[in-house]
Structure 1
Amino acid sequence: MLIEFRVENHRSICDEQTLTMEAGRVGNADDLRPREVVGYAEKILPVAALYGANASGKTNVLNGLAFMRDAVIQSSFLWQPDQGIPRSPFAWGSRKAEPSLFEVTVLISGVRYEYGFLVSDEVVLEEWLYAWPNGKKQVWFERDNMTFKFGEKLLGDNQSIEGLTRANSLFVSTAVQFRHEQLQVIHGWFRRVRTLNFGEMYPSYFHDRGIARLLHEETQSTLFDDTEFGRPNLMAQFRSLLRNADLGIVDLRVEKAEATESRRPRNRFYLQHDVSAGDSWLPLSQESKGTQTLFRSALPILETIGHGGLLIVDELEGSLHPSLARHIVDQFNDPNTNPDGAQLIFTTHDTNLLGTTVGEPALRRDQVWLTKKDEHGITVLYPLTEYQPRKSENLERGYIQGRYGAIPYLGDLSFVME
């Protein structure tokens, strides 16, 4: 699980900003949302939401984490030797030439790790990885430009891989390409970081194949079962997601088209609508754009809840029917539907998640983060708890009124101002 993310000099972020998933001293003792985890003294939150005005930089915070993920996974084979590092530093003043920092503290199988790097436009300036098995710090490696220092606890062919690491590539990324077993643990954590609405340009073919593959695997023997090993199977979760969207969809099926000489076999999806007519199945291609967006957004959501990891979403309500946003947040927050400690971090303008119209707010006070820009156009990230709102305080009303510093996006919200 992610404990903390730190980023500096990235897009509108100038000074170091920190997003922590560590639970604060808020809420009731019987609140099950904060998770007790082996290997860490404090409870960890499964959900965090970033609020703020348009162009305040909330997307840039999560974009920094997405950039870090891509660097770890891709830098050794996608960043070409003569093309430097595709970073996006703060655009104004002297900071444009200064390094960018990216660092995470994570918990994997009961062991805390701290991994990070410092990069310029051309090279990796620093890179480091520390581990705390049994609570004792181990230096696995430290990098200063192309000078490496390996700790005695990092086994493997470190020196040989050092010689294969380019100046503009991360050591972790290179090491995994050459099957460094011990570094698979941190690399594997980043591979389980999924993104949604960050400009992915994958053709729908790949989305459809991914969804169909998951459904096909899950439905071989359990298509009509409600649970598998005491948990809802993927088909049941998919159906539940569609039904909760209140789109009138009651079922779905997958059909595989015949392969031809010029075309590979492609899965076709059909959705059944709640109508009185007997034949109520429609192909996904004939559904509304909103339904198609929801359908394809379901893949990373269900993958993350079903297999663990971290999902970062830009504008959660932009991917989902409005009634579904709270349902998804509740799914991640509930240990019964999220027993593997999957995490969700998202930006949003949806103030309903802060309100009490339908009972307790979906978000705890320590799950809410705010962004604003100062007079120099620099993004500042801070927790709602910095304002110490009372337990009984109407967070939705307070946010809309600008009580917490960040000026929200305002639509027709006069009803809460009365």
Structure 2
Amino acid sequence: MILLSFTVRNHKSIRDEVTVDLLRPSLKTLRPKDGDWNSVSYPLAGIFGGNATGKSAILDAFYYAFSAIKHSATMWQAAKSMTRAPFKLDGISQTGTSLYELDLVHEGRRYVYGFEVDAEGIVQEWLNDVPTSRWRKILVRNRKDNLLRTHPSFRSTLEVTPRELVLSRALLLKNSPLHSFARDLVGSFDIVLVKDSHRAKRLANIADSLADGDTTFGDLEALLQVADIGVMSVSLEETNIPERIRRAVQRFHQDLRTGDNTGTDIENLHETNGPSELADDELEQVVRRFLFTHRGTAEDCPPFSIEEESDGTIAWLAIAVPALEALRQGGLLLVDEIDASLHPHLLEVLLGAFADPVVNSRHAQLLFTSHESFILSPLSDVHLEPEQIWFSDKTYEGATELTCLADFPRHPDANVAKRYLTGRYGGTPRLSPSLFAALIDSGEG
């Protein structure tokens, strides 16, 4: 999958429609004449902005869209109402519809897939492609007109509930003509969050991948040596889970699947599909913990547990491993606050890998959020074109706005980082140091 653009409306702090565009301006037609989509789409883009301007909300909207494809036909059916997260600050949007649309390339062909939801379920759903020189409608769904049909060439009967996407149902049916498309979408997407709880889950997944052979110790050790943080080797410690803990986990999973899920959170949607009870083989899982051996002067240096490692080591592993997987396999990787706990030069290594077509031979794409202006400065070795730089800001009404650097008049030699920090492009916090000083004064005496 290659992402060309993503459009969202009425999701968390995003009230009005915003679009993240990864298409190069050189493409003037619906598809490149030579069929080379890599040359007309960006592998890298960053969203910059102050705290609470909606950077994470944009990534959350991405994750909601992919989660709806993956889970609306299964896990979401157990909820009492439609899982969604509309804008809440105007008294109107909560009863309106939320829109999500992906413009993408699957197996060399361009598609647009989108849907609208409200509190009752799916309002509209559509899928179009470009088989020749114009758009073709593959799927049309409209609740108001009680309409659900596919292109005659698909010859398939569709049966879905009011709160599940056709694409989510197709993901379950291997004989569906839309199955491979749906599978490619969910399989080509990954997200890395800055929250400690998410990093813990990510490290647990990496540990399981090591035990299963999907990721090697050599991979981890090489990534840690890239960061030059003194780790010489990595190993796993495995401990059997006591029976009472296994049963408690089973009850917790049951509660999760029967509870109300009227809202959405970017982290809580990481639940997996499965039966109402854990299978016996799942109950026999073990706790896997990382152990790190550092370079030192002692002949036999004791290994460090993950709790003893620095935030930088944990942050690097949590980001670098999924980045390595994306670069090897292709797909879309989202990283929230990519600069958190990472040195700017280490961040350059990561971004440079995606920007280099020799290294990134599968045209994996990285969309990240950041506060780090170094990336935008002339000192950075990673050159981002204006179309790859986006700024988030928030209006007085609390709604997120998204603008592209390409929309601003700019001299080719302008110092983007300096202008960004001085608020020329928006996306910087409106601070009140005098108020902070007043708070200090009021607490004295």
The residue type paired with residue 272 of structure 1 is: T
CA–CA distance in 2 between the matches of 1:392 and 1:302?
33
How much does 1:23 deviate? 2.1
TM-score with structure 2 length normalisation?
Answer: 0.77
Aligned to 2:278: none
| Contact 1:76–1:174 (CA under 8 A) maintained in structure 2 | yes
| Helix, strand or coil at the partner of 2:74 | helix
| Contact 1:39–1:112 (CA under 8 A) maintained in structure 2 | no
| Contact 2:193–2:336 (CA under 8 A) maintained in structure 1 | yes
Shift of the 345–282 alpha-carbon distance from structure 1 to 2, 3 Å rule, reads same
Stretch deviating more after TM superposition (170-179 or 195-204)? 195-204
1:381-405 alpha-carbon deviations (Å, 9 max, x no partner): 1101111322211111110111113
| Contact 2:170–2:182 (CA under 8 A) maintained in structure 1 | no
| Helix, strand or coil at the partner of 2:428 | coil
The aligned runs of 1:388-407 (5 Å cut-off) are 388-407=409-428
The aligned runs of 1:60-75 (5 Å cut-off) are 60-75=57-72
1:57 matched to 2:39? The reply is no
| Helix, strand or coil at the partner of 2:101 | strand
Shift of the 78–59 alpha-carbon distance from structure 1 to 2, 3 Å rule, reads same
The aligned runs of 1:112-261 (5 Å cut-off) are 112-145=110-143, 146-155=146-155, 158-159=156-157, 162-163=158-159, 165-188=160-183, 189-197=185-193, 201=197, 204=200, 207-211=203-207, 213=209, 217=213, 237-249=219-231, 251-255=232-236, 257=238
1:382 matched to 2:383? The reply is no
Aligned to 1:107: 105
CA–CA distance in 2 between the matches of 1:66 and 1:276?
46
| Helix, strand or coil at the partner of 1:19 | strand
1:250-270 alpha-carbon deviations (Å, 9 max, x no partner): x32334647688564454433
The residue type paired with residue 169 of structure 2 is: T
The residue type paired with residue 3 of structure 1 is: L
Correspondence for 1:337 among 359, 374, 383: 359
1:306 matched to 2:328? The reply is yes
CA–CA distance in 2 between the matches of 1:183 and 1:43?
26
CA–CA distance in 2 between the matches of 1:275 and 1:193?
39
Aligned to 2:443: none
Shift of the 405–264 alpha-carbon distance from structure 1 to 2, 3 Å rule, reads closer
Aligned to 2:378: 356
How much does 1:290 deviate? 3.5
Unaligned runs of 5+ in 2: 27-31, 244-283, 432-445
CA–CA distance in 2 between the matches of 1:374 and 1:117?
26
Aligned to 1:226: none
TM-score with structure 1 length normalisation?
Answer: 0.81
Alignment: residue pair count: 380
Shift of the 82–307 alpha-carbon distance from structure 1 to 2, 3 Å rule, reads closer
- Report % sequence identity: 28
How much does 1:237 deviate? 4.9
CA–CA distance in 1 between the matches of 2:194 and 2:150?
35
1:27-64 alpha-carbon deviations (Å, 9 max, x no partner): xxxxxxxx998365971001110011111112111111
Aligned to 1:21: 22
Shift of the 217–203 alpha-carbon distance from structure 1 to 2, 3 Å rule, reads same
Shift of the 198–272 alpha-carbon distance from structure 1 to 2, 3 Å rule, reads closer
Stretch deviating more after TM superposition (327-336 or 186-195)? 186-195
Shift of the 350–392 alpha-carbon distance from structure 1 to 2, 3 Å rule, reads same
| Contact 1:37–1:110 (CA under 8 A) maintained in structure 2 | no
How much does 1:118 deviate? 0.6
How much does 1:408 deviate? 4.9
| Contact 2:292–2:304 (CA under 8 A) maintained in structure 1 | yes
| Contact 1:349–1:409 (CA under 8 A) maintained in structure 2 | no
CA–CA distance in 2 between the matches of 1:42 and 1:9?
32
How much does 1:248 deviate? 2.1
1:202-243 alpha-carbon deviations (Å, 9 max, x no partner): 694773353452586368xxxxxxxxxxxxxx6555334322
| Contact 2:45–2:367 (CA under 8 A) maintained in structure 1 | yes
CA–CA distance in 2 between the matches of 1:316 and 1:399?
18
CA–CA distance in 2 between the matches of 1:283 and 1:113?
48
Shift of the 74–37 alpha-carbon distance from structure 1 to 2, 3 Å rule, reads farther
